[in-house]
Chain A
């Protein structure tokens, strides 16, 4: 049975690819090149990292000391909290692929997704210890927390840039330009989604009112 498994389906490969995310964090240029070109990354590991990121975000709400994070629980919607990570990520992947595929980007959609997820590693890696750390500090020491917390985001953003650069085989300037363009594309996507849902809503209400009219006439 084991023998019939392909290489990428084994646990061994999964662990190896997951560990490789740490290498990517410390050696971004080298790491993200190997990620796709040497096939050292896996979608499974990317999914795991994404899951940990979402989990860090949720656990942060409950377990961070109230000094740093005060939650108005009446208004918390866990699905919305999850969506704050997943929705921008989906928009980013689609927008980035749609743009770069027109401008000689070498990355496929799945590779963009994988590389972006690999770049999220600093977030869970820093936020989980920070949750514990937040519970042993006072207000006077709050600066440490905020700086480290901000650092986790800054590193993630830099890693995403490095990842895009290697995946698409772009130069630095082109990467930054397309990152900004992708942000704009995300806005366009949001606009199209809004348009789409409001059109669907209008369409449905058209048929509902027509049905009502028919029932009214028949009677």
Chain B
């Protein structure tokens, strides 16, 4: 009896534990999420999983990193700017996916006075091996070859467009295939500074538009000169970071925008600049590409996402890093949110002060400057399927893309992009009726209308005989009946036929 009681109690305890843990699992939290049509957060299977966290020890260093601020990736090599230690660390990834230290760059060779770095904040490396280093406190961007021989430096422009009073503090840079340098400097708000390959200043590119509304203007008009001086000036905002994508367009991001402008779509946190400096980022999604759309306060976090770095893959999916809540947002070429993941914290996959994001193939590397570590993310099965579906569609393999999106739906039934993806694939295959169903499910009115227009056309073409018969029956028949009756009436009442 006692034994059975004991067993029974153990059994009950198991049930209680089982129930409580299943309750935890059902709680509405998750690492990866999407926004649905209504803006509700829909948790998703993880698209990326942490495969490695690299600290100074893993990089083969004997001392700690100190305020590292930037990453650069080319093929299988990674460069890391260890800013406060005035050095650059070059890592290489072997075939098994492990990272090894290649070398530590602390000084350069050649015909130049200053051979060491002072607070290097960013690095870019060209295909032919030249390195461009933002040597911030030495007021230069220095170009060296693979063996660290000095080639050229890009210094403060002597142009009158450039404020000669302020010191030149290059902060972030990117380069194009011709060796032009695009650089953003602290306290420069006129846009991205552009240098020709020979080091000549070639002007500014892509200053953000200044926005102000009627109330701002009125307020300024009514205030005194002293008050105006204290007020925030209507000046363009500075960029946080730049990234050169494979097509030669510059992704630029900024976090210094007022939440109201962001919300109204008047200002963009993420911009894609062409060579003229105009923004060509496509914003066809349900939400502007600005990170989180719910800016709940709590836990010391408030306000919109602050996009601090961008990286764009060859399939036009770009990833934005939010330093406010430590999240990564992926957008596709149409500006739809593909997924978002991450958060603030100390666990692997969460960040304390993320500053830089890069991609290596489909893998992501995120640098945390407070944690002094690089987190390496690898796509999960779900993440790979999403990429495959997007890439197949871009390659024109619409049927395959549709099948892949179907598989994605199997893994995540709450994923709007997948339904629209299936619909778009069906649309390309001219299966309009089916496509309409998928678009209607996820409220994609534009694609639905495209499909419906064709569907309607086909329907009318197939049923033109029916349509004509119905038209005939509705209009011609009553008319002719009336006519016949009229003639009959005339005949009946005509004197000529009167028989008496």
Which residues of A pack against B, CB within 8 Å? 66-67, 70, 72, 136, 138-140
Q: Which among A66, A136, A138, A140 is the interface contact of B443 at CB below 8 angstroms?
A: A66
A66: chain B residues at CB < 8 Å are 440, 443, 445, 448
B453 / chain A contacts, CB cutoff of 8 Å: 138
Distance, CA A70 to CA B453, complexed state (A): 20
> In the complex, how many angstroms separate the beta carbon of B6 from the nearest chain A beta carbon?
43
User: Does B211 reach chain A (CB closer than 8 Å)?
Assistant: no
Q: Which residues of A contact B452 (CB under 8 A)?
A: 138
B38 at the interface (CB under 8 A from A): yes
B449 near A140: Cβ-Cβ < 8 Å: yes
How distant is A64 from chain B, measured CB to nearest CB, in Å?
12
Contact B443 A70 (CB under 8 A): yes
Given A66-B440, A72-B38, verify A136-B445 contact (CB < 8 Å): no
Give the contacting residue for A139; candidates B38, B440, B449; CB below 8 A: B449
* Residue among A66, A72, A140 facing the most chain B CB atoms (10 A cut-off): A66
A72 to B443, CA, bound (A): 11
Instruction: Verify A67–B448 contact, CB threshold 8 A.
Output: yes
- Closest CB in chain B relative to A154 CB, distance in Å: 26
User: Does any Cβ of A come within 8 Å of B456's Cβ?
Assistant: yes
B461 at the interface (CB under 8 A from A): no
Which of A136, A139, A140 counts the most chain B CB atoms within 10 A?
Answer: A139
Q: Which single residue of chain A is at the shortest CB-CB distance from B446?
A: A139
A138 to B453, CA, bound (A): 7
Contacts of A138 in B (CB 8 A): 448-450, 452-453, 456
Q: CA separation between A66 and B443, bound complex, in Å? A: 7
Q: For residue B451, which residue of chain A has the nearest CB?
A: A138
Instruction: Quote the shortest CB–CB distance from A45 to chain B (angstroms).
Output: 30
Please report the C-alpha to C-alpha distance between residue A72 and residue B37 in the assembled complex, in whole angstroms: 10
Instruction: Please name all residues of chain B whose beta carbon is closer than 8 Å to the beta carbon of A136 when the two chains form the complex.
Output: 456
CA distance A140 to B453 in the complex (A): 10
Given A66-B440, A72-B38, are A139 and B456 neighbors across the interface (CB < 8 Å)?
no
Main secondary structure on B side of the interface with A? helix
A-side contacts of B445, CB under 8 Å: 66-67, 139
Interfacial residues of chain B within 98-137, with CB under 8 A of chain A in the complex: none
Q: Which residue of B is nearest A135, CB measured? A: B452
Kindly state the separation between the CA atoms of A139 and B38 in the bound complex, as whole angstroms.
Answer: 19
Residue of A67, A70, A72 with highest tally of chain B CB at under 10 A: A67
Please report the C-alpha to C-alpha distance between residue A138 and residue B448 in the assembled complex, in whole angstroms: 8
Q: How far is the CB of B470 from chain A (nearest CB, A)?
A: 15
A62 CB to nearest chain B CB (Å): 13
In angstroms, how far is the closest chain A Cβ from the Cβ of B309?
A: 35
Question: B321 → chain A, closest Cβ, in Å?
Answer: 32
A/B interface sample: 22 pairs, CB < 8 A: A66-B440, A66-B443, A66-B445, A66-B448, A67-B445, A67-B448, A67-B449, A70-B37, A70-B443, A72-B38, A136-B456, A138-B448, A138-B449, A138-B450, A138-B452, A138-B453, A138-B456, A139-B445, A139-B446, A139-B448, A139-B449, A140-B449
Q: How far is the CA of A189 from the CA of B450 in the complex (A)?
A: 49
Segment 449-471 of B: residues with Cβ below 8 Å from A: 449-450, 452-453, 456
Q: How far is the CA of A70 from the CA of B37 in the complex (A)?
A: 10
Instruction: A138 to B451: give the CA distance in the assembly, Å.
Output: 9
Nearest A residue to B447 by beta-carbon distance?
A139
Q: Closest approach, in angstroms, between the C-beta of A73 and any C-beta of chain B?
A: 10
Q: Which residues of B contact A139 (CB under 8 A)?
A: 445-446, 448-449
User: How far is the CB of A93 from the nearest CB of chain B, in Å?
Assistant: 36
How many angstroms from the CA of A139 to the CA of B436 in the assembled complex? 13
For A140, the closest partner residue in chain B by CB is B449
In the complex, residue of chain B having the shortest beta-carbon distance to the beta carbon of A138: B449
List of B residues within 8 angstroms of A72 by Cβ: 38
Whole-angstrom distance between the Cβ of A145 and the nearest chain B Cβ: 12
User: How far in angstroms is the closest Cβ of chain A from B286?
Assistant: 11
CA–CA, A44 to B452, complex, Å? 42
**What residue in chain A is nearest B37 (Cβ atoms)?**
A70
Report chain A residues within 8 Å CB of B450. Answer: 138
Report the separation of the CA atoms of residues A136 and B436 in the bound assembly, to the nearest whole angstrom: 13
Residues of chain A contacted by B443 (CB below 8 angstroms): 66, 70
CB of B233 to closest CB in A, whole Å: 42
Report Cα–Cα, A105/B452, bound state, in Å: 54
A-contact bits for B15-38, CB 8 A (1 contact / 0 none): 000000000000000000000011
Q: A70: which B residues are within 8 A, CB to CB? A: 37, 443
B448: which A residues are within 8 A, CB to CB? 66-67, 138-139
Question: In the complex, A136→B449 CA distance in Å?
Answer: 10
In whole angstroms, how far apart are the Cα atoms of A67 and B38 in the complex? 14
**Could you list 12 further interchain pairs (A-B, Cβ under 8 angstroms) beyond the known A70-B443, A138-B449?**
A66-B440, A66-B448, A67-B449, A70-B37, A72-B38, A138-B448, A138-B450, A138-B452, A138-B453, A139-B446, A139-B448, A140-B449
A72 to B440, CA, bound (A): 14
Tell me which residues across on chain A come within 8 A of B449, comparing CB atoms: 67, 138-140
User: In the assembled complex, how far is the CB of residue A140 from the closest CB belonging to chain B, in whole angstroms?
Assistant: 7
Closest to A75 in B: B38
Complex: how many Å from CA A67 to CA B37? 13
With both beta carbons as reference points, the residue of chain B lying nearest to A136 in the complex is identified as B456
State the Cβ distance, A70 to closest chain B Cβ, in Å: 6
Rounded to whole angstroms, the CA-CA distance of A70 and B36 in the bound complex is 13
Tell me, rounded to whole Å, the shortest Cβ–Cβ distance linking B414 to chain A. 14
Q: How far is the CA of A66 from the CA of B450 in the complex (A)?
A: 14
CB distance from A67 to the nearest CB of B (A): 5
Which A residue sits closest to B453, measured CB to CB?
A138
Q: Counting chain A CB atoms within 10 Å of each CB, which of B440, B452, B456 scores highest?
A: B452
CA distance A136 to B453 in the complex (A): 9
Cα distance, A138 to B445, chains bound together (Å): 8
CB-CB under 8 A from B38, the residues of chain A are 72
Q: Which residues of B contact A67 (CB under 8 A)?
A: 445, 448-449
Q: Which residues of the other chain, B, contact A140 by a CB distance below 8 angstroms?
A: 449
Least CB distance, A139 to chain B, in whole angstroms:
4
Instruction: Specify which chain A residues have a CB less than 8 angstroms from the CB of B37 in the assembled complex.
Output: 70
Cβ distance B446 to chain A, nearest Cβ, rounded Å: 6
Which residue among B440, B445, B446, B456 has the maximum number of chain A CB atoms within 10 Å of its CB?
A: B445
